[in-house]
Structure 1
Amino acid sequence: MRTIVITGGTDGMGAALARHYLAVGHRVVVIGRSGAKFDALVTTTARRHPSAPDRAEFIAADLSLVADSRRVVEHLRENYDRIDALVLAASFIRQRRHVTPEGHEASWSLFFLGKYLFVTRLADLLRASERPVIVNMAVPGARADAIDFDDLEMVDGFTFRRSNAQQRRANELLGILATEQNPDLGYITWGPDRLVRSSFAGEVGMGMKVAAAVLAPLLGRSPEDAIRPIVDIIDTPAPGRAAYRGARALPLTGGAHDEKDAIRLASAVEKVL
């Protein structure tokens, strides 16, 4: 029995992955904000797989808060001796800059600081697995120069586009750090290759609201269909870094100073954590 940890596992593709791995007999730890959604997910799965509740755990957390991410990491370290797959799927879209009660820019905190904590502080539990894999749902392909090292939390000149590109690139650099520490680890940045039917949680603009309400039901694929390439990656992991859109492998974005940038990023983040 493998242990699968999923952030954002009560909605969309995260929930679909949780249902799948409970159905096939693995242990699943879901981190999210809605215990009611988790209970419904487990209840539905248990109708056909009665042992599902015994293999499911929910940890309530707001992962835009560093303290919550740290608390979850400590819980996992205290209660599990191995993590086989870590899926980083938590999402809350913000079009505007928002500061958390801890003083961090909310999107940067959710989409990178929290992920950094999970990847680096759970490295020992991943190393204990024979075939460890991290699937980071950070759409690959951001420019190599997308990170503003002098203003990581975008106090000046915040735009959704800049913020999104910086988070994505930072998560690619995080893969360099993770695989250098554990050469057996598979680290995949992944994004869907077409629209997926989901709630688009967050403070979204009118265009995204229209897509969620009108286009997604008509043109989008179901979360169950969209996760098929992720399941293949988790079930047959390969060591090293890789990037995918759907089932299509993409070349990794390369910059002139990738390893130095990864170390510089880690140094900056450790100072605020």
Structure 2
Amino acid sequence: MRTIVVTGGTDGMGAALARHFLKAGDRVVVIGRSRAKFDALLAAAADGDPSATARAEFAAADLSSAADSRRLVKHLRTHYEHVDALVLAASFIRQRRHVTSEGHEASWVLFFVSKYLLVTGLAGLLRAAGRPVVVNTAVPGARADAIDFGDLELTRGYTFAKSNAQQRRANELLGVLATRGVPGLAYVTWGPARLVRSGFAGDLGKGMKTAAAVLGPLVGQRPDDAVRPIIGFVDAPSPGRSAYRGARKLPLTVGTDDERDAARLAEAVENDFPDG
């Protein structure tokens, strides 16, 4: 039986994936913050298939906390022998810079540091799977020079656009580290082809809230439709790094020194977020 781990698995695309893989007969670990939302998801997935309850686990975690991310890794390593697919779909959009109780910029931790900790921390479980895959819902295509290595948490001149581009590029480089650590791993940097109808969880400005409320129902995809390409990546993984928007494959962004930049990111996380 495959083990599928989905962060952000109680809402939107994450919940759609969790329902699909439970109905497909897989073991699914749903990572989120709301037990009530998980219970509702499980009730829908278990309709007509009581075995889904035994194959689902809810793991509560706030992935804007490095400590919570590390605790989650330890839990998964203790309770599971392999992870066949890790889908990184957690999202909480902040338009303004926010510092967590751990003293770090929240979006940087949620959208990159937690993913780094999960991908590297679960490398052994991914290696133990027959055809492992990581799908990272960080929209590909950021500039190769989007990362400010001198100020990763953007203490100076923070903008939403700069933060977003930096996280996206960092997650593309995470694929360099991931595929080196797990030979045969399929690492997919993915973004939806167009707007997805969802709750748009986050600390949003009035303009973004209004745009989401108006455009979502008009042009947005249903989460169940948006995630079909991800299901394909999990069911038929292709080893190596790749990038997609929806089902359309994109060229990987290649910088002048990607290996060194990936190593710099790893060093920064290990230095800035020491274990314990």
TM-score by shorter chain over 0.5: yes
* Aligned-residue offset at 1:50: 1.6
Structure 2 partner of 1:59: 59
TM-score computed with the length of structure 1 as normaliser: 0.99
1:246 corresponding residue in structure 2: 246
**In structure 2, the residue corresponding to 1:187 is in which secondary structure?**
strand
The code of the aligned residue for 1:27 comes to: R
* C-alpha distance in 1 between matches for 2:183 and 2:208: 39
How much does 1:210 deviate? 1.8
Residue type of the partner of 2:233?
I
- Aligned pairs for 1:49-128 (under 5 A) are 49-128=49-128
Amino acid of the residue matched to residue 181 of structure 2? Q
3-state SS of paired residue (1:163)? helix
- Separation in structure 2 between the aligned mates of residue 173 and residue 45 of structure 1, nearest angstrom: 35
Q: Does 1:262 align with 2:262?
A: yes
Separation in 2, partners of 1:239, 1:145: 26
Task: In structure 1, give the amino acid aligned to 2:180.
Answer: E
Partner of 1:200: 200
Quick one: distance in 1 between partners of 2:169 and 2:14? 22
Q: CA deviation at 1:271?
A: 0.4
Give the equivalent residue in structure 2 for 1:178.
178
CA distance in 2, matches of 1:21, 1:49: 13
Give the deviation of 1:30 after TM superposition: 0.5
Deviation at 1:215, TM superposition (A): 1.3
Deviations 1:62-87 (A, max 9, x none): 11001110111100000001000000
Q: Is the 8 A contact 2:185 2:240 kept in 1?
A: yes
Corresponding residue number in structure 1 for 2:224: 224
How high is the sequence identity, in percent, across the aligned residues?
A: 71
User: SS at the partner of 2:255?
Assistant: coil
Residues paired across the two proteins, number: 273
Contact 2:16–2:224, Cα closer than 8 Å, also in 1? yes
Between the aligned partners of 1:102 and 1:15, the Cα distance in structure 2 is 28
- 2:130 counterpart letter in structure 1: E
3-state SS of 1:142 partner: coil
How far off is 1:235 after superposition?
Answer: 0.4
In the alignment, the residues of structure 2 paired with residue 68 and residue 14 of structure 1 have an alpha-carbon distance, to the nearest angstrom, of 19
Q: Structure 2, unaligned stretches of length 5 or more?
A: none
Amino acid at match of 1:136: N
Task: Give CA-to-partner distance per residue, 1:73-106, whole Å, 9 cap, x none.
Answer: 1000000010000000000000010000001100
Q: Post-superposition shift, 1:61?
A: 0.9
Code of the residue aligned with 1:49 in structure 2: it is D
SS, match of residue 156 in structure 2: coil
Aligned to 1:169: 169
Letter in 2 for 1:54: A
Aligned residue in 1 for 2:133: 133
CA distance in 1, matches of 2:95, 2:16: 26
TM-score (norm 2): 0.98
Q: In structure 2, what is the equivalent of residue 11 of structure 1? A: 11
Give the 3-state SS of the residue equivalent to 1:13 in structure 2: helix
In 1, the alpha carbon distance for the partners of 2:63 and 2:117 equals: 10
Q: CA–CA distance in 1 between the matches of 2:64 and 2:236? A: 31
Aligned mates of 2:204, 2:48 — CA distance in 1 = 36
- Distance in structure 1 (CA, Å) of the matches to 2:49 and 2:35: 20
Deviation (angstroms), 1:208: 2.2
Q: Is contact 2:142–2:165 with CA below 8 Å preserved after alignment?
A: yes
- What does residue 40 of structure 2 align with? 40
Q: Residues of 2 paired with 1:126 and 1:183: CA distance?
A: 10
Does the CA-based 8 Å contact 2:127-2:183 persist in structure 1? Answer: no
- For 1:160, the equivalent position in structure 2 comes to 160
Q: Tell me the amino acid that sits aligned with residue 244 of structure 1.
A: Y
